[in-house]
C-alpha cells in the first residue's frame, strides 16, 4: 500500500521576448509505504512471513530561485536550489515460531544545496551553451536500531557518522545549422548523484534474498560526451552517439550465499543471497540513440530506440565484477507510438515498447527475458476544463520480468490493466 501527497507552487515574472525576469519555485512531498514479504520454503510448496514494513514515512522539500535575461543574440540564468529529504523504515522481521521476533527502525536525513550559472549565445548558424554549478551534499542523523520484539532489548544500535562534501559540475554544448532542415550538435558534461536514503539506510528482502544498506556510500560521478545529427523538416529525426563513464557506481554487490549467518544481516536461508549496496568501481558505456517523428494533419507517428554497450570495471573494490554487464541494463530498447485525432475533441493513441534481455544480478547469473508491452489510450475533451479517458495498459498481458531470486522466484511488472478516468483543469 502506497500513500502520499505533493504540493508545488511557482511564481514567475518573465517579460515576453527580450528582457529580464525571475522565478521562484517550491515543493513539498510526503509519502508512506507498507509492504509484506515472504520467505519461500525448499521445494517452493510453502511460504512464511519474512518481514513486514508497517510504515516508511518520508518528507521532501525543495526550493529554486533564479534570475534570467533573454535577448536576440543570447541570454543567461543564475540561481540557487535546495533539496531536503527525511525518511525511515519501520518494520518487523526475523519470523520464528509463528511470530516476528525483531523490530527495526532505520533512516536518516539528506540535503543538497547548489548554486549555478548558465548562458547561451546565438551566432547565426551556431548556438552555443554552457553552464557550471557547485553543490554541497550532506547525509546526517543516520540511525538503525533493532530490538527484541518481546523484551524491547536493543540488539543493534548503529549511528553512522554525518558526512558531507562539495562537488563542481558543468556542461558545454554547441549546435550548427547546416541548412534549414539539417543540424549537427555536440556536448560534454559532468554530473553527480548522491546515494538515496534507501541506499544509505534501508535494508530489504525479496523472497530469500537480502540486500543490506550502506551508510558509507559516496556520490556517483558521471562524465560524458555525445555527438548528434538530425533534421527539423516535415520528417523530424535525430541520431546521437555517446560515451559515458560512471565513477563510484552504486550497485548491489553479492557478499555471500545461504544457508549461512552473516554480521548484521543474520541468517540467509538456503537458496538465498546476501548483497550490499557498494560503490563498485566504474562503468564504461557507449552506444547510439535514434528517434524519428512524422506529423500529418491528424496523425503522428514516432519511433525511438537505443543500443548501449556497458561494462563494469570493479577495480580493487569489486574485482569479481570486472568485465560484466551492469544489472538491469538491456543492450537494446525500442518504442513506437501512433496518435490519431479523427475529431478535434478525440485523441486515440497506441504505443509499443520493447526491452531486451538483461541481468537481475551483479554476477550476471540471473537473466531476465526480453519483453514487449502494448498500450492503448483514448481521450475525449468534454470541454476546455474536462477530459475523459480510457486506457488499456499491457494489453496482451505480457510477462515482463523485473527480478529473479536465487531459487528462481520471478517478479513481474504490471499485468494487463484497464483504467478510466477524469481530468480536471483550471
Q: What is the 3-state secondary structure (H, E, C) of 281-320?
A: CEEEEEEEEEEEEEECCCEEEEEEEEEEEEEEECCCCCHH
Strand pairing category for 410-412 and 401-404: antiparallel
Which among 87, 91, 89, 90 has a CA at the least distance from the CA of 108?
87
Counting beta carbons within 10 angstroms of the beta carbon of residue 13, is it exposed (0 to 12), middle (13 to 18) or buried (19 or more)? exposed
Query: Does residue 198 sit in helix, strand or coil?
Result: helix
Judge if pTM exceeds 0.75. Answer: yes
What is the phi/psi pair of residue 200, to 5°? Answer: -80, -40
Q: What is the mean pLDDT of each run of 10 residues along the chain (426 residues)?
A: 95 85 97 88 81 94 96 94 96 91 95 97 95 97 94 94 96 96 96 95 85 94 97 92 96 91 84 91 96 95 98 92 95 97 95 96 94 97 94 96 82 94 89
The reported pLDDT for the residue numbered 208 is 80
Which among 200, 315, 203 has a CA at the least distance from the CA of 262?
203
Handedness of CA 205, 211, 216, 218 (dihedral sign): negative
- HSE at residue 316, side-chain half, CA atoms within 13 A, is 0
Output Rg (C-alpha) for the chain, integer angstroms: 25
As given in the structure block, the three cell numbers for residue 250 are 552504486
The reported pLDDT for the residue numbered 8 is 96
The reported pLDDT for the residue numbered 114 is 97
* CA 13/CA 72 separation, integer angstroms: 19
Q: Which residue has the cell 478516468?
A: 421
* CA 302/CA 372 separation, integer angstroms: 17
Strand partners, 399: none
The reported pLDDT for the residue numbered 410 is 86
Counting beta carbons within 10 angstroms of the beta carbon of residue 316, is it exposed (0 to 12), middle (13 to 18) or buried (19 or more)? exposed
The reported pLDDT for the residue numbered 169 is 97
Amino acid at each position: 500500500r502506497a500513500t502520499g501527497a505533493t504540493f508545488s507552487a511557482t511564481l514567475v515574472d518573465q517579460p515576453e521576448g527580450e528582457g529580464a525576469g525571475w522565478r521562484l519555485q517550491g515543493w513539498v512531498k510526503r509519502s508512506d509505504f507498507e509492504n509484506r514479504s515472504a520467505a519461500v520454503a525448499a521445494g517452493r510448496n510453502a511460504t512464511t512471513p519474512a518481514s513486514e514494513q508497517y510504515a516508511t514515512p518520508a518528507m521532501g522539500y525543495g526550493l529554486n530561485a533564479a534570475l534570467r535575461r533573454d535577448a536576440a543574440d543570447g541570454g543567461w540564468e543564475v540561481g540557487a536550489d535546495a533539496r531536503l529529504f527525511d525518511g525511515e523504515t519501520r518494520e518487523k522481521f526475523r519470523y520464528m515460531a509463528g511470530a516476528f521476533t525483531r523490530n527495526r527502525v532505520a533512516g536518516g536525513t539528506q540535503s543538497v544545496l547548489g548554486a549555478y550559472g548558465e548562458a547561451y549565445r546565438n551566432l547565426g548558424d551556431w548556438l552555443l551553451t554552457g553552464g557550471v554549478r557547485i553543490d554541497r551534499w550532506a547525509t546526517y542523523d543516520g540511525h538503525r536500531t533493532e530490538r527484541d520484539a518481546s523484551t524491547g532489548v536493543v540488539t543493534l544500535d548503529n549511528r553512522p557518522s554525518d558526512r558531507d562534501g562539495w562537488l563542481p559540475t558543468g556542461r558545454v554544448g554547441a549546435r550548427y545549422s547546416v541548412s534549414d532542415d539539417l543540424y549537427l550538435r555536440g556536448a560534454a558534461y559532468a554530473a553527480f548523484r548522491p546515494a538515496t536514503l534507501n541506499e544509505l539506510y534501508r535494508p530489504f528482502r525479496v523472497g530469500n534474498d537480502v540486500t543490506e544498506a550502506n551508510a558509507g556510500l559516496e556520490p556517483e560521478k558521471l562524465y560524458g560526451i555525445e555527438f548528434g545529427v538530425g533534421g527539423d523538416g516535415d520528417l523530424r529525426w535525430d541520431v546521437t552517439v555517446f560515451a559515458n563513464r560512471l565513477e563510484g557506481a552504486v550497485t548491489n554487490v553479492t557478499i555471500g550465499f545461504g544457508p549461512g549467518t552473516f554480521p548484521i544481516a543474520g541468517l540467509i536461508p538456503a537458496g538465498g543471497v546476501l548483497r550490499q549496496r557498494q560503490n563498485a568501481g566504474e562503468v564504461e558505456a557507449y552506444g547510439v540513440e535514434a528517434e524519428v517523428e512524422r506529423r500529418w494533419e491528424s496523425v503522428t507517428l514516432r519511433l525511438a530506440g537505443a543500443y548501449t554497450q556497458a561494462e563494469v570495471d570493479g577495480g580493487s573494490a569489486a574485482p569479481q565484477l570486472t568485465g560484466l554487464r551492469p544489472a538491469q541494463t538491456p543492450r537494446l530498447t525500442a518504442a513506437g507510438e501512433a496518435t490519431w485525432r479523427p475529431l478535434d475533441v478525440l485523441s486515440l493513441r497506441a504505443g509499443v515498447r520493447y526491452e531486451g534481455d538483461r541481468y537481475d544480478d551483479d554476477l550476471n547469473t540471473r537473466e531476465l527475458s526480453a519483453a514487449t508491452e502494448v498500450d492503448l489510450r483514448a481521450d475525449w475533451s468534454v470541454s476546455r476544463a474536462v477530459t475523459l479517458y480510457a486506457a488499456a495498459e499491457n494489453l496482451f498481458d505480457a510477462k515482463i520480468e523485473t527480478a529473479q531470486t536465487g531459487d528462481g522466484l520471478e517478479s513481474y511488472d504490471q499485468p494487463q490493466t484497464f483504467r478510466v478516468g477524469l481530468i480536471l483543469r483550471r
